Structure 1
Amino acid sequence: MTQRLTRALLEGGFPFPEGLKVPEYPANLPERVIQFGEGNFLRAFVDWMFDAMDRKGLFNGKVVVVQPLNEGMVERLNQQDGLYTLLLRGIRDGQPVSDETVIGSISRGIDIFADWQEYLKCAENPDIEYVVSNTTEAGIAYNPADRPTDCPPASFPGKLAVYLYHRFQHFQGDSAKGMVIIPCELIDRNGDNLKKIVLRLAEEWKLPAEFSTWLKEHNTFVNTLVDRVVPGYPRDEVAALTERLGYEDQMLDTGELFHLWVVEGPQELRKRLPFAQAGLNVVWTDDMTPYRTLKVRFLNGSHTSCVPVAFLYGLDTVKEIVEHPVLGPYLEQIIAEEIMPSTGIEQKTQKEYAASVLERFRNPYIKHYLLSILLNSISKFKTRVLPSLLGYKEKTGRIPLKISFSLASLLALYRGKVEGTSMKCVRGESQFEMRDDPEVLKFLESVWSECDLSQESVLKLVRTVLAKVEFWGQDLTEVSGFAEAVAADLHAIVNQGVEKAIQRTMLK
């Protein structure tokens, strides 16, 4: 019977395969980071970075992971003593490279729905001075239903507000016990927005004014940008990998070699968090705007634009898109014809970054499933694609037709029945699940139930969706011609199929 990856396996003389790096630093390093999120991305990015620093004796601390949702992987993580294998693969200098590491930077995981008090105990630990999070674009959001007595509050900012207030009370407002909050959610000014919501909750909950002062003066909320493609659990390779590694790992994770973390915050943090000394591509800057515009619009934006179309077309991975005779040119045209004209960034910089993005998408070792990218697609479209759409319209006076087709394809995917926390939908003869905020799913189920697929009915549906300010941050029916363009595409998709519908878009 194959043994599972655990601390006992690590310390018991197990013959790990040659080339696999295992942690040799002490297992009992103090917990110094509390992390909201146990998913693939943080484990292949942030936790990998703390592991890299620990290997070189530059940080000497561990990460305690909080499961922010009722369903998660903390139990599996704890069964493996926080250990997991990370495979980073790609092409470097024309040669295939695979970097294989057992990550040891996580001490344990906490399910706050089962053990709220253990979570609050972390706030009492003076060694824990950093907060890291990745709760998706929908995570940094104000929830008026949150209460300080909830165990836990529904939203991530609510959970964080309770944590920080407990710390404030425990240390009696000690200025030295403030924290550094490092959100990784892909929204603009993520740290600023998170701070604003926490302060709003403190005021609405009528917490002492001294707490708000402590929050503002002795806690640091930084803005960040993260960049690494992380497909996650390699389900198609698990059997072969398990045989080669010699042990079972239910938390296996995969990612690309490329990584970039841009942090906009006080320069003194560079010394406290010496990522660069560990050889990591972490940039400290006073203005992250140019980095964010390039990454969000080109990498994430092209993903979010193409994935709904490609998934409807019957494709399953990003690599299939770039190699496809129709979707490959569609992707390149979105980037060159609609994203580039929207940014105002110097052409040479844009072309170089766009070329690097397409090269990363072609990585033969990365199997990035479209269905995983479709998670929370409405909030992703708002963050990643809407700025290009509005920028293009402002600069040219026209509607970007391929981005319009992308939104139509996305709406076509949300045509199903909500069951529990997901929507059951159909592609061809098979079923799939769209996962998004429950309110998003219920709304889209409702509008589709009233649509008879006629032109007039589809236009009404599109107008209703685009007018939903809660989705887009504004009423998109006010963008002249946009509703009509999306409705025409959506009508063609649901009545003729995406393969025929896309032809008219590619020819425009």
Structure 2
Amino acid sequence: MTRLTTRTLSSLPAVVRRPAYDRSHLSPGIVHLGLGAFARAHLCEYTEDTLELEAGAWGVTGASLQRPDQRDRLSPQDGLYTLLKRAPAGPELRIIGCLREVMVAPEDPAALVARMAAAETRIVSLTVTEKGYCHDPATGRLRADHHDIVHDLANPDAPRSAVGLIVAALKARRAAGAGPFTALSCDNLPHNGGVLRGLVRDFAALSDDGLAQWIEANGAFPATMVDRIVPATTEADIAEVAGLIGLEDAAPVIGEPFRQWAIQDVFAAGRPAWERGGAQMVSEVAPFEFMKLRMLNGAHSSLAYLGYLAGHETVSEASGDPVLARFLEGLWAEIIPTVPAPQGVVLGDYAQALLARFRNPAIRHRTWQIAMDGSQKLPQRLLGTIHDRLKQDAAIDHLALGVAAWMAYVSGTDEKGATIDVSDPLAATFAEKAKAAGRNATALSRSLLSIEAIFGADLPHEPRFTRAVETHLAALFDKGAKATVAAL
């Protein structure tokens, strides 16, 4: 089959939306670190919308920080790829054209730093997941002992972490007498802009206090809230896209129709008119971010662990299970009193909209995918809510079950005795603790709760929390996920 390229765009079926601007005039303006599916289905589509309405210097250079896979798939396609939006009424197809090139950081980190430091680069955005920030999720501080940070401090001309790359490029900008670019985090981290600012400043201070002060005084690190369900692309998706567009596309992305992007409007060197594509440019992102992290992400993670344990492969299957749907309603009832509603939002209506999104049968978002990297996600998605509920002397039954389900999941064995592929930076630690504890809920819960990087210093000594988690974990081991949820 003929490959999707600039030359073959004209052969696409009429139902496929294609770039409505001249790509040959697209000049660079954004470097994006961590060119995964989410960035290509979210930031790139908003940028595509903006370019169609207002052409400008906002072409995107994508950078893979680990492997060459994305470059190898996208470069033969001139950076073009299909965004397939799965709606209950049927698929929507769009070719995204704003991606100009893909670089691979480990192959030539100096070249990537030079691209970031170039005068035409005005924004460096990133989606590197929580673990890509090389920080302690419980405190938000830089881990100076992280192996990537240790490497980057010793090899400043060949950084491999996102923080190291940003600091190296800002150092080059300062040396050239240029102002800084805007560093724009698009990851699901509370106060992601402030966290990134602190990490960049702290890293710089470890070698050059003057640079750290320059970054603090001149840098721009807007907070953002991003929202769109983007499942991992499968071979079946690739085959489906080929059948729909009549061309081979090695790098399509799949997303739900819904999307949301709230951005703190603080930029150092200009920005695209993203608001013309539907983004919300706001002075304060925190209310949107807080609502999403607790109500969407907290529910997503809890449902992923329980759904996986109950044998559900996807979120739509799990949320369509009446027993787990009742769990979500109970979970949201515990979460909502801890969430100040953003202006114009009714939280109960927001919860019902989330349930409808979860149940979209056209989206195959695997519970295993959402369950990844739980050690990095729990503090933001569940533990903060638990802290607040304990202060209110309020019930935490559903929240504690979410934590217990995570423990059962990372124990590495499902309800049928099959091995779970636990994808997490602390997977080896979990395996060691699970081997020592076996199926003893008391031993396993106490061992996992002792991981201060996840649970901090307070929660492991809060008996209301520890008893609830231990009780739920014992039930999960004894009766299974569905029976445990049904008993709530």
Counterpart Cα distance in 1 of 2:18 and 2:327: 43
Work out whether 1:7 is the aligned partner of 2:6: yes
1:453–1:494: 8 Å Cα contact kept in structure 2? yes
Which residue, 181, 184, 189 being the options, matches 1:182? 184
What does residue range 246-285 of structure 1 map to in structure 2 within 5 Å? Answer: 246-266=246-266, 272-277=271-276, 280-285=277-282
What do residues 113-144 of structure 1 show as CA deviations (whole Å, max 9, x unaligned)?
11222212203421111011111122222231
Letter in 2 for 1:156: A
Q: CA deviation at 1:242?
A: 1.4
Query: Secondary structure of 1:113's match?
Result: helix
What do residues 181-230 of structure 1 show as CA deviations (whole Å, max 9, x unaligned)?
1101111111111111111111111x261x23331233211111111111
2:84–2:254: 8 Å Cα contact kept in structure 1? yes
Which residue number corresponds to residue 429 of structure 2? 443
Letter in 2 for 1:193: V
Which residue, 453, 460, 465 being the options, matches 1:477? 460
What does residue range 68-87 of structure 1 map to in structure 2 within 5 Å? Answer: 68-70=65-67, 72-87=69-84
What do residues 343-390 of structure 1 show as CA deviations (whole Å, max 9, x unaligned)?
254998111211211122222322211111112122222111222222
Which residue number corresponds to residue 155 of structure 2? 149
Which residue number corresponds to residue 174 of structure 2? 168
Which residue number corresponds to residue 200 of structure 1? 202
Work out whether 1:461 is the aligned partner of 2:444: yes
1:267–1:284: 8 Å Cα contact kept in structure 2? no
Q: CA deviation at 1:429?
A: 6.2
Work out whether 1:104 is the aligned partner of 2:104: no
Query: Secondary structure of 2:296's match?
Result: helix
Query: Secondary structure of 1:284's match?
Result: strand
Work out whether 1:434 is the aligned partner of 2:422: yes
Counterpart Cα distance in 2 of 1:17 and 1:434: 41
Which residue number corresponds to residue 323 of structure 1? 320
2:295–2:332: 8 Å Cα contact kept in structure 1? yes
What do residues 204-260 of structure 1 show as CA deviations (whole Å, max 9, x unaligned)?
11x261x23331233211111111111241544433331221111121111122211
2:31–2:60: 8 Å Cα contact kept in structure 1? yes
Larger CA deviation: 380-389 vs 50-59: 50-59
Counterpart Cα distance in 2 of 1:265 and 1:339: 28
Query: Secondary structure of 2:254's match?
Result: strand
Q: CA deviation at 1:329?
A: 1.4
Q: CA deviation at 1:97?
A: 5.8
Q: Which runs of 5+ in 2 are unaligned?
A: 136-141, 145-149
Letter in 1 for 2:197: K
1:83–1:106: 8 Å Cα contact kept in structure 2? yes
Q: 1:317 to 1:183 in 2, by over 3 A?
A: same
What do residues 310-355 of structure 1 show as CA deviations (whole Å, max 9, x unaligned)?
100000111112221211211222112x112332549981112112
Counterpart Cα distance in 2 of 1:106 and 1:88: 19
Query: Secondary structure of 1:100's match?
Result: strand
Which residue number corresponds to residue 50 of structure 2? 53
1:379–1:471: 8 Å Cα contact kept in structure 2? yes
Letter in 2 for 1:283: Q
Letter in 1 for 2:429: F
Which residue number corresponds to residue 364 of structure 1? 361
Counterpart Cα distance in 2 of 1:153 and 1:124: 14
Larger CA deviation: 401-410 vs 115-124: 115-124
What does residue range 8-47 of structure 1 map to in structure 2 within 5 Å? Answer: 8-10=7-9, 13=10, 15-23=11-19, 24-47=21-44
Q: CA deviation at 1:60?
A: 3.5
Counterpart Cα distance in 2 of 1:25 and 1:308: 46
Q: CA deviation at 1:296?
A: 1.4
Letter in 2 for 1:217: A
Alignment RMSD: 2.4
Letter in 2 for 1:199: R
Counterpart Cα distance in 2 of 1:132 and 1:56: 21
Aligned-pair identity in percent equals 24
Q: How many residues align?
A: 473
Name the structure where strand makes up a greater proportion of residues: 1
1:123–1:166: 8 Å Cα contact kept in structure 2? no
Which residue number corresponds to residue 147 of structure 2? none
TM-score (norm 2): 0.90
TM-score (norm 1): 0.87
Which residue, 429, 433, 438 being the options, matches 1:452? 438
Work out whether 1:406 is the aligned partner of 2:406: no
Q: Which runs of 5+ in 1 are unaligned?
A: 417-424
